[in-house]
Structure 1
């Protein structure tokens, strides 16, 4: 089925052409257009497009002075703070490749990825947890330089003063020296010429690490064109875009590819502003939405659940919000329905991968949408379904298959991993397709639905069980708040599904009652051997439920 053109509902035609740009070009166009307008608000302090651009230019020149140039890797070990944007665009102006690192990484995780990527310089913050980890990696790895930003200097003056005087325990004692520099010292003098570096849209811009299909962290190589086009693809499906009033709620962490495209670069492509918070905290997000009149909010399902759970939810004015976008994980139907009912805001579900620069498809913001689906592909994006047993063949008509994606946002490959690249990037009909590892179906209107991950399917006596389908059923019980289903060894059937859940508090139910309730509503081969009630379920660094981590906990290894 030609889903790219069939019943296409997004406001921009599917065959729209997007000019390949470098990210500095994309940013500079926004500065020329929106220079004095607010780009970022950080806890009450405004930064204009021109403010961040000037700082980015100074950082680019500073990198040149430190011997960092074309192709060198510059790491960002930062939460959502203003210097993230300055360092991100500034490093690229210098011709460097940005490497994103989660602020939640352990010393071992950060060391491994610094070594794998060949990162020479790392930007972090004078927050004790971050600085201690970064400094130890500096001492124990080939990392050459650590640049440390001051949190107090990024805040409104009165908050910065309070932090400097009353919150000294929250500021790291930084051992500055030749290898550890202040952010202000890493910036060239105002007016210093920018590096004269030739940057092409096809050049590498970002290394974004992902577990991929094997669980081994790999750096997805994303080019300037991948990222700049994906940002404009996302902008093209937004019928509400008005740079004068558009304010994105910036709770997603910038270091994650979803936020990189759907928040940071999307704002730049559309001339919008971002009301930032350093990390997700439900009460602070609710207050920020109301205070800054946020119009769009990209998030993950657990964020919307946390907002619903917060006592201020019912007192928050959501009238400015035109749409919320959920990605990163399947959206539980009860959460979806309850959020829309109580907030009055349309919540649309989308889909993407690190390897696709962040976004592949999304439900339309207006008009037809289908709950439980990941919507329709973005302009310029094509999808096919591959046979699950033989990816060289298409899936039989009408049957689920492995989703494969072709489009300008698909990565170049994995950093120094040619074998892994060859597994996921395949050629068919003269085009390069990204194998996602997700099993999907496509309906007659071109809406996609993810059935499950291929590696998550449970083999029960010769039958394939999709965990997400069992999860969808148990989540219908009012006592269940969250659920993950995994396969556990069974001597007779090979594997059996087992459900791990947390309770909502709306109703009481025992594990046995929930098991019996669930098993009466699913197919015989989908019945669970037990339901395990837990206080919490493991989550990834962006807050989505982590089936892989749960499987490790239960099975070991």
Structure 2
């Protein structure tokens, strides 16, 4: 596929064929670097073919859902393309989810196979799920096996206590067995425009998690759209892949984009300042997609110590609004250009991005190729407002999802006249640049992660002392936003914030747990008796303004 062709519509094809094309064009170029252990495109292609055959041996057929619950490791990349090559559908799950959340998403998606790592923090969440029959197979990757020999010895000597012991049981499949040599995978016909590739959970416009159905064509078209927005890039450069691959931003802009361009994914499993600093110095990456909090952290650290940042030439910020002061400071430190893009899970995700060499302050940029952005009246969504007027940002394009998984009613709500409603309020200027001014949805974006207020509230309601709760996002210097909860207890009940936080630890990940819990005798309600966030948001805003 010639993703750089400037005329006509972007080409689309099955996602796994991106990798097959890369293997054919760049066999000797490095595809992955994980803490110093490198893998070429030729070797990645062989592992993906073996993984695809292994998934088929486990019963994966066309349309079967397989969950990935992994940090950024080679296992994610291999299994992602292997599942798609086998005809399956990837279900992305955050490793930060607690057991109850994993159960919910497995049941909702219908995934009967999952992949995780033999680190207790992850693995232990799945043991009771496998025990009660909610999964047929759990594929477990070995942390030791993806390290180079020196780091493997060091890890074993200093950190082996964090590793789980995987039982000899047919329900547990070691990754090494999944990719054991054998018969080639059976070919599976794929209609790129119609066939699902990924179920990506998102809060949509209501804050209730549901899975955006992203087709093969949605994902490869969006990748091609991003390529067209970039300058010419020579294969073989490094793509610093710190943003988690289970997030749709990294899946497209770090992983699929790297494969399309023949770049090396420099995989980092978590944010660690020391590890990041050493990795930047060792690998000298060319491309560094990230979220505002990462760039802010680097700005802060680089003011105190020397960081090797001179190799970085292209940075795209996504997943949350990018403050101008963070962008300006990062560009001063690195000498590269940091551009802000905009998207959402329902659009695979990229909708718009600023131009390299043409950033417009305060704007999320221009729509990517073959994408039409419509600004529709907030009180009359069927009406498109004139240029420059505020309205809801709505999108048409080949990257727009097929709909929400098993939720036709929710799908109907999010489309108007065939255009995707983003839930964001904005306008376009005379040159087509998009400016966002407000957010309709209650979704909280904390450090680039989506936090769904309703799910947080539901965890509170599991405690017998809680009568009412409202969760909102409040500003945070490091994460952009963090959740805050307002709680009304049952009459006569007593509860401390510490005790309630301890209770929530069994139901919510650290990112989802509120930074502050405030107890109230009365919570605001609408005229029909519904709990209202508006007044509480206004209170917090007033505090910020004083």
* Normalised TM-score (structure 2): 0.80
Measured in 2, the distance between the counterparts of 1:424 and 1:502 equals 29
Shift of the 443–283 alpha-carbon distance from structure 1 to 2, 3 Å rule, reads farther
Measured in 2, the distance between the counterparts of 1:383 and 1:325 equals 20
Structure 1, residues 281-327: CA drift from partner, whole Å, max 9, x if none? 23322322232111111101111111122257651222211121111
Equivalent residue in structure 1 for 2:391, among 401, 404, 408: 401
Matched with 2:59 is 67
CA contact (8 A) 1:247 1:293 kept: yes
Equivalent residue in structure 1 for 2:110, among 111, 118, 132: 118
Matched with 2:171 is 179
CA contact (8 A) 1:61 1:188 kept: no
CA contact (8 A) 1:208 1:222 kept: yes
Equivalent residue in structure 2 for 1:293, among 275, 279, 284: 284
Matched with 2:404 is 414
CA contact (8 A) 1:101 1:110 kept: yes
Residues 1:81 and 2:73 aligned together: yes
Matched with 1:535 is none
CA contact (8 A) 2:56 2:86 kept: yes
CA contact (8 A) 1:15 1:380 kept: no
Secondary structure of the structure 1 residue equivalent to 2:288: strand
Secondary structure of the structure 2 residue equivalent to 1:249: strand
Secondary structure of the structure 1 residue equivalent to 2:56: helix
Measured in 1, the distance between the counterparts of 2:254 and 2:211 equals 21
Matched with 1:512 is none
Secondary structure of the structure 1 residue equivalent to 2:33: strand
- Superposition pairs for residues 66-215 of structure 1, below 5 Å? 66-140=58-132, 142-190=134-182, 192-202=183-193, 203-215=195-207
- Superposition pairs for residues 244-259 of structure 1, below 5 Å? 244=236, 246-259=237-250
Shift of the 391–499 alpha-carbon distance from structure 1 to 2, 3 Å rule, reads closer
The gaps in structure 1 that reach 5 residues or longer are: 1-10, 458-466, 469-485, 487-497, 505-540
> After the TM superposition, which of the residue ranges 17-26 and 42-51 deviates more from structure 2?
17-26
Q: CA deviation at 1:433?
A: 1.1
- Superposition pairs for residues 408-447 of structure 1, below 5 Å? 408-427=398-417, 432-447=418-433
Measured in 1, the distance between the counterparts of 2:515 and 2:88 equals 37
> After the TM superposition, which of the residue ranges 116-125 and 138-147 deviates more from structure 2?
138-147
Q: CA deviation at 1:425?
A: 2.1
Measured in 2, the distance between the counterparts of 1:92 and 1:123 equals 14
CA contact (8 A) 1:39 1:46 kept: yes
Measured in 1, the distance between the counterparts of 2:476 and 2:89 equals 41
Matched with 1:333 is 324
Measured in 2, the distance between the counterparts of 1:66 and 1:503 equals 47
Measured in 1, the distance between the counterparts of 2:368 and 2:475 equals 34
Residues 1:43 and 2:35 aligned together: yes
Matched with 2:489 is none
* Normalised TM-score (structure 1): 0.79
Residues 1:375 and 2:365 aligned together: yes
Aligned length: 465
Matched with 1:218 is 210
Residues 1:260 and 2:261 aligned together: no
Q: CA deviation at 1:226?
A: 0.6
Structure 1, residues 372-400: CA drift from partner, whole Å, max 9, x if none? 21111111111010101111111244211
CA RMSD of aligned residues (A): 2.7
Secondary structure of the structure 2 residue equivalent to 1:105: coil
Q: CA deviation at 1:56?
A: 1.0
> After the TM superposition, which of the residue ranges 371-380 and 117-126 deviates more from structure 2?
371-380
Measured in 1, the distance between the counterparts of 2:235 and 2:245 equals 21
CA contact (8 A) 1:16 1:379 kept: no
